Each structure stands twice: as structure tokens, then as C-alpha cells.
């Protein structure tokens, strides 16, 4: 019987914390990481120290290598050729949809982000589109049943202008909405209104995220073209956030078997 090869520093792994463990460890379930060392406590128990992919500290430099997390050897799974052979098997499409009215100041945020993303090299299966105020077009795109949807739009939460958020809408609330809430205005587009319309058209809406930015100028009473300085400065950050989300969603799909659909 062939014994498994022990984990070593530099191995890439996926984290599989045991149920009932530390809440912070459980929050990292399914994430990929790199082994930084193998540790042993005074009682002889071995632990794997890892640096999680996408940890902000990783890119700062050699003096700030990122936070280390410790897992039992049975809670990490080495990534190898078997994982690569199934890469992408669980993922079909990711739709990134820019939303906004270019004539209403910072409402053009989503449009500008989509345009920047469209000029970058993105993985297969990722589609970026500028929908502007074309709510019906976006609803039809959602009805095509992408695996993941990332909406990009302005979003007010009372933070300083230019603050970028990632929000996961509660899709269960769509079924409780007033039918009139599904009406789409030809001159504006409200993300939840479009989601309601798409749901009424039979779109499954499997997973939706909103990448939003706190606006400084917004609405017809402040009608003007061009982004404010803080929102303009947040464009590259938003692009980076979306690229990180795409990478995470693809990694999760590679590590999870495809879910068969009902006939």
C-alpha cells in the first residue's frame, strides 16, 4: 500500500476544517492556501501553518507575508494533478454587469468599471457587459442562467464617497415584493427591480453579488456628466475587487463537483 506523501513547505492546499471547530477556521472552508511550515506542539501533535490566497498581506512584501492560520493535517488537502484535471468542471459562466446612467454624475460608476474590465484579459466563461439603463436586456441575460452574477452600481450606505462595498442581496425578498416593483424605468435601472423582473421571467438567479460604490453626486437634481473625484479614484479598486471575486468563484467551482441539474 502506497503511503501518502507528507505535506511540505510550499505545497498548495485547499482548507477542509472539521465541523464544530474554530469559527475563524470554518470561515476559510474551501479556500486555497500555501503551506508556510509544519509545526509540532509540546504533546507531539502536528499542525500545518498556511497563508491563505488573496490575503492582503501577501502582496505587501517579504516583511509582511500575510497572516498564518493553523490546521490539523487532516484538515488540508493537497492540490495536485487530480484537481487540475477537473478545473472548471463545476463552472459555466460568470456575468459581470455594469449598471448606470452616464448623464447622472456618479451613477456612471458601473458603466465605467465595466468598460475598464472589458479591456482586460479575463478567464474563459467570464462575460463583462455595460448595460447602462437597459434593464430589460439585463433581465434577459439573467434569464440565460449564469452560474454567478456580479452587478456593478452605485450604492448608498452612508460611508464616505468612493467607498467600495461587496453586498450579497437577499434573493428570498424578491418573491415577497409588490408586483409593481418589477417595472423597469426606461431611463434608470434599479438592480433589485431588474432582479425581480428576471425572477418573474423564470431566471433561477443562483448567486448574485453587488459591487457598489458610495456616490458623491447622484440623481436628476444633481444632473451632471462625469464622475466625482472620490468615485473616479475608486474605479481601479473596484476592478481589483471584481477580479478577486472572479478568481475566488472559479477556484470554488474547481474544488466542488458540478451539481447535476434536474431534467
Q: How many domains does the chain have?
A: 2
Question: Do 103 and 52 lie in a common domain?
Answer: no
Q: Which residues contact 129 (CB under 8 A, 6 or more apart)?
A: 95, 96, 97, 98, 114, 141
Any idea which of 51-55, 151-155, 259-263 has the lowest mean pLDDT?
259-263
State the chain's mean pLDDT as an integer. 77
CA of residue 216 relative to chain centroid, distance: 25
Per the domain annotation, does 262 fall within a domain? no
pTM: 0.60
CATH number at residue 117: 3.40.50.1450
SS (H, E, C) 24-45: HHHCCCCCEEEEEEEEECCCCC
Does residue 6 fall inside a structural domain? no
What pLDDT, on the 0 to 100 scale, is given for residue 224?
59
Q: Are residues 139 and 214 in the same domain?
A: yes
Give the domain extent around 221.
Answer: 94-255
Same domain? 245 vs 124: yes
Cα–Cα distance measured from residue 207 to residue 190, given in angstroms and rounded to the nearest whole number: 18
245 and 161 fall within a common domain: yes
Closest CA to 202 of 229, 230, 178, 182: 182
Q: How many residues does the chain have?
A: 263
The pLDDT of residue 80 is: 56
Q: Do residue 74 and residue 102 come from a single domain?
A: no
Instruction: Name every residue whose Cβ is closer than 8 Å to that of residue 94 and which is 6 or more positions away in sequence.
Output: 125, 126, 127, 146, 147, 148, 149, 150, 246, 249, 250
Cell of 70: 493553523
Q: What angle do CA 212, 243, 184 make, to 5 degrees?
A: 40
Tell me, yes or no, whether 4 lies in a domain.
no
Residue 84 domain-assigned? Answer: no
Grid coordinates belonging to 227: 464622475
Q: Is the pLDDT of residue 91 over 70?
A: no
Amino acid at each position: 500500500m502506497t503511503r501518502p506523501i507528507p505535506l511540505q513547505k510550499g505545497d498548495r492546499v485547499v482548507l477542509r476544517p472539521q465541523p464544530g471547530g474554530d469559527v475563524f477556521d470554518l470561515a476559510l472552508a474551501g479556500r486555497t492556501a500555501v503551506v508556510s511550515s509544519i509545526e509540532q506542539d509540546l504533546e507531539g501533535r502536528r499542525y500545518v501553518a498556511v497563508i491563505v490566497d488573496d490575503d492582503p498581506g501577501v502582496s505587501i512584501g517579504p516583511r509582511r507575508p500575510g497572516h498564518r492560520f493553523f490546521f490539523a493535517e487532516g484538515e488540508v488537502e493537497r492540490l495536485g494533478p487530480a484537481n487540475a484535471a477537473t478545473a472548471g468542471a463545476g463552472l459555466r459562466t460568470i456575468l459581470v454587469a455594469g449598471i448606470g446612467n452616464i448623464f447622472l454624475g456618479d451613477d456612471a460608476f458601473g458603466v465605467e468599471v465595466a468598460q475598464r474590465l472589458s479591456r482586460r484579459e479575463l478567464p474563459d466563461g467570464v462575460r463583462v457587459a455595460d448595460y447602462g439603463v437597459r434593464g430589460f436586456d439585463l433581465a434577459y441575460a439573467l434569464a440565460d442562467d449564469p452560474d454567478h452574477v456580479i452587478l456593478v452600481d452605485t450604492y448608498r450606505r452612508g460611508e464616505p464617497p468612493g467607498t467600495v462595498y461587496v453586498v450579497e442581496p437577499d434573493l428570498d425578498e424578491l418573491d415577497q415584493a409588490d408586483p409593481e416593483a418589477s417595472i423597469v424605468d426606461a431611463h434608470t435601472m434599479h438592480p433589485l427591480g431588474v432582479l425581480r423582473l428576471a425572477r418573474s421571467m423564470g431566471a433561477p438567479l443562483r448567486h448574485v453579488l453587488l459591487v457598489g460604490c458610495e456616490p458623491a453626486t447622484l440623481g436628476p437634481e444633481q444632473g451632471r456628466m462625469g464622475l466625482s473625484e472620490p468615485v473616479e479614484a475608486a474605479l481601479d479598486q473596484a476592478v481589483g475587487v471584481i477580479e478577486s471575486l472572479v478568481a475566488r468563484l472559479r477556484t470554488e467551482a474547481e474544488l466542488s463537483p458540478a451539481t447535476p441539474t434536474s431534467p
